[in-house]
Amino acid sequence: MLTPNYLRNIPNGVINIMQDIELEMLASLGKRMSKFGKVTGSREWQIYKAQQLGIVRDDLTKAIAKNSNKTLMEVQRAFNDAGITSTKYLDNLKKMAVQQGLERVSKYGMTDSMVNTLQAGADRAINILNMTNTSCVQSTIQSYAHILDKAYLSISTGVMDHTSAIRQAMNDIVKQGIHVVEYTKSGKPIKYSVEASTRRSILTSVNQTTMRVQKEYYDTLEGCNLVETSAHAGARPEHAVWQGKVFYWGKPVKGYENFEVACGYGEVDGIGGINCYHSFFPYYEGISQQSFERDPSAQLGIDNDKHYELQQQQRFLERKVREAKKELVVYENAGKGFEKDVERCKSKISEAQYNVREFIKANDKYLARDYSREAVAKITKTPATNPRTVSVTIKQPKTVTKDTNKNAFVATDTKSKFNASNILEAEDQAKSQKLANIVNYDKCTNINNLNHVNQTIYDVENKYKYLYKDGYKRITSDITKNNVNASANLYTINFNPKYLNLNKPSYKPYSPESYQHLADLYKRSLSFHPANSSEYKSIQKIIKNMEMYAKCTRYTVSQSYDNIFDCIKSTIYHEYGHTLSDRVFGMINGNITNGYLTDVEAKRRKQLIINTFVKAKGNGDISKISAYAVTDSHEFFAEVFSTREMKEKLPDYIMKMLEEVLR
């Protein structure tokens, strides 16, 4: 069974990749339009226009090609994870039925037929996304051609001067945006945003495919003839009538309605239809207990239909935030002459975020802020440094109170150099101790954690100051992705405020069995790809890593502790490991920033880390560290650095490596 909350989040990985593509497309349009040339004569114009459209088409195609393998892997991951999650639940239910004598002992897990069903769904989803990309390119080229023509005519007829025409063209690009064109049965075109189209495609494909797998599993059960539907607050009114109820499926059972008829199974507007978060699962009369309330909205004290309307209003306000952020991307890439537009866009974003915040505040009993629906990827010029991130799943608190007065009660620690009583003091103390030139703890409310962050950074910076000249320039808290706690590069360490606001650790228990199951699924999917193809090789690489993950006992070092202080401390050590290794011997960016070592010595130490990583991976010792250490030599170093700083035991040759590279 897939819960509504699981289905709500399943498209996010693919959406992030598609947003990357969309923003690269917008950045290209902004950049190209800002360089609009002065053309005289219609013939010259036609030549110039053809050249520009060709350049933009190349830009758009490259953006898609660059992300194609990521898209494939993320879609495959989403379907595999959904299949595993659903089957695990069904297996547990079946084991309970076997114990009660309602089912005979038989094989558990997915059959080959179920795996084929799952893979067929993933392939269909990939084809849909390919069509989405094609539609994006075609519609964008058409829109851009129209915008170019409009700008040329405005200039050539004297309606506008060159500068005004370009500015108007920029406004048109922002207004038109990147969209997917789909057609109704009558042939009428409908435009959808990339985010909306992707969310609908992945959510619907995953849910429908998993329901087919569940139906195959259900058909193997001998002692079950009933199913229960899931439920969620604010359901569509036409779905609210059947959610959280038990139905018969197959042989009629007195007192129950027909599942297919009542819930519209297989219909576009029924259970598992377009954008539906509902699912079903077997129900054994007499031993099963209903898992869902009939009307979750009522438990919150609100009518379901009213709750649904509030959610739709929230989605509208979230779209306005995304639209403003996309507009900023266009003008930021336009270059000189558009500085005022950039500032206007930033104000527009702030206003849109304020509207969301106030709306949630006014309805905080029924709604929670969903930052993932306000987020878009960042498209910037090639960075001087390559930030590394620790990916850890964070369970978002139900409510996060913003400390607008930057003032909160805090228990002080007299032994620490940092005992701020509010956020402003925490920022000022960090700057006064020269932790960074710029410190911004916006959206952070847990002052105890901020004092702990400051103290940990202070301690580790001073411990290893002999290795470099300068410390961090910026300490910030503006990460919005739910699966990223922190990131760092040469001169910046950045945190997720949700992570720093936690009072206790909140991460999913590590499940080695799931990774082995994933490895087995990927092995089966190999047959769907030509041997020697890039997809085949990518999947082989994933299988090796999954099998290695299955031997580990934790995902990251920071997921080993039962108090939030140690979790945060180990996270900082991990990020500082990246910073330190890059500052001292160019581990990530390949250049030495402070001249502490000669080029030859820096390369030697870097190679020692790589050799140790290969050895640990080869002999299996890496499984004693963490699954994240398997990723590459960069993450390996950061994880073993954190392990040592947390005073955990490491194999002797890894300890010797650390002593050698940090001397």
- Reported confidence tier of residue 228, pLDDT bands at 50, 70, 90: very high
So what's the pLDDT on residue 148? Answer: 87
Using the predicted structure, report yes or no on whether residue 419 has a pLDDT greater than 90. no
Question: Which whole number is the average pLDDT over 35-41?
Answer: 71
Which of 267, 265, 295, 296 has the alpha carbon at shortest distance from 280? Answer: 265
Cα dihedral 538, 541, 546, 552, rounded to 10, equals: -150
Question: Which whole number is the average pLDDT over 648-655?
Answer: 93
Residue 324 makes CB contacts below 8 A (sequence gap 6+) with: 345, 348, 349, 351, 352
So what's the pLDDT on residue 594? Answer: 59
Using the predicted structure, report yes or no on whether residue 392 has a pLDDT greater than 60. no
So what's the pLDDT on residue 185? Answer: 61
Separation CA 493–CA 580 (nearest Å): 12
Question: Which whole number is the average pLDDT over 245-251?
Answer: 93
Separation CA 462–CA 635 (nearest Å): 23
HEC readout, 27-42: HHHHHHHHCCCCCCCH
- Strand 226-229 and strand 280-283: the pairing is antiparallel
Q: Which two tokens stand for residue 416?
A: 């620490």
DSSP 392-406: ---PPPS-----TTS
Cβ contact 356:371 at 8 Å: no
Rounded to the nearest 5 degrees, what angle is found at the Cα of 546, between the Cα atoms of 542 and 551? 155
Cα torsion angle, 411, 414, 420, 426, sign: negative
Helix (H) or strand (E) holding 99: helix 42-99
Question: Which whole number is the average pLDDT over 231-252?
Answer: 94
Query: What digits encode the pLDDT tens for the residues 286-325?
Result: 888 888 888 999 888 999 999 999 999 999 999 999 889 9
Mean pLDDT, the chain, integer: 84
The lowest-confidence range among 317-321, 341-345, 557-561, 593-597 is 593-597
Query: What digits encode the pLDDT tens for the residues 474-498?
Result: 899 988 887 789 998 878 899 999 9
Residue 336 makes CB contacts below 8 A (sequence gap 6+) with: none
So what's the pLDDT on residue 17? Answer: 86
Using the predicted structure, report yes or no on whether residue 413 has a pLDDT greater than 60. no
Of residues 655 and 418, the one with the higher pLDDT is: 655
- Strand 226-229 and strand 189-193: the pairing is unpaired
So what's the pLDDT on residue 590? Answer: 59
Residue 320 makes CB contacts below 8 A (sequence gap 6+) with: 352, 355
Using the predicted structure, report yes or no on whether residue 526 has a pLDDT greater than 90. no
User: How many Å separate Cα 414 from the centre of its chain?
Assistant: 39
So what's the pLDDT on residue 575? Answer: 93
Query: What digits encode the pLDDT tens for the residues 75-86?
Result: 888 998 899 889
HEC readout, 519-530: HHHHHHHHHHCC
Using the predicted structure, report yes or no on whether residue 338 has a pLDDT greater than 70. yes
Residue 133 makes CB contacts below 8 A (sequence gap 6+) with: 21, 64
Separation CA 663–CA 114 (nearest Å): 55
Question: Which whole number is the average pLDDT over 453-459?
Answer: 92
Question: Which whole number is the average pLDDT over 328-347?
Answer: 88
* Partners of 303 in the β-ladder: none
Cα separation of the two ends of the chain: 53
Beta strands per DSSP E along 306-455:
388-391, 438-439
**614-631 as b/e: b if 16+ CB within 10 A:** eebbeeebbbbbbbbbbb
- Reported confidence tier of residue 404, pLDDT bands at 50, 70, 90: very low
C-alpha Rg value of the chain to the nearest Å: 27
Cα torsion angle, 422, 427, 432, 435, sign: positive
Question: Which whole number is the average pLDDT over 392-397?
Answer: 31
- Reported confidence tier of residue 570, pLDDT bands at 50, 70, 90: very high
Using the predicted structure, report yes or no on whether residue 56 has a pLDDT greater than 90. no
Separation CA 157–CA 42 (nearest Å): 12
Separation CA 650–CA 607 (nearest Å): 20
| Most confident residue range from 135-139, 419-423, 492-496 | 492-496
- Reported confidence tier of residue 638, pLDDT bands at 50, 70, 90: very high
